[in-house]
Amino acid sequence: DIQMTQSPSSLSASVGDRVTITCRASQAISNYLAWFQQKPGKAPKSLIYAASSLQSGVPSKFSGSGSGTDFTLTISSLQPEDFATYYCQHYRNYPLAFGGGTKVE
């Protein structure tokens, strides 16, 4: 099974900061990688698929990059509504798997 490891597990940032979150797959997954945002008490929201493609309606301050085993999610200028937990997920094969999450606070 493919394992997903996110770093850091949490980070402290301020409004206006550029934030980068890293996700590493235990084996190559090409670009079968998605990113999700989850706020406390809410359902996850899909941000990015295919490692770098924005889901419909997602603002361009979010960007994703990477291929193979190493991926990043970048928030170009952190806004108050962006404080949340972010998860990566591979869908290269089964079982699908999520990273452990990165809490941005």
Q: Is 52 in the site for other proteins (CB under 8 A)?
A: no
Nearer to other proteins, 16 or 94 (CB): 94
Q: What angle do CA 52, 37, 9 make, to 5 degrees?
A: 95
Q: Is 7 in the site for other proteins (CB under 8 A)?
A: no
Least separation in angstroms between residue 15's CB and other proteins is 26
Nearer to other proteins, 82 or 90 (CB): 90
Q: Is 91 in the site for other proteins (CB under 8 A)?
A: yes
Cis peptide leading into residue 8 (ω within 30°): yes
Rounded Cα distance, 47 and 64, in Å: 9
Rounded Cα distance, 82 and 66, in Å: 22
Rounded Cα distance, 19 and 44, in Å: 19
Chain residues that interact with other proteins, rule: CB under 8 A: 1, 32, 34, 36, 38, 42-46, 49-50, 53, 55-56, 87, 89, 91, 94-101
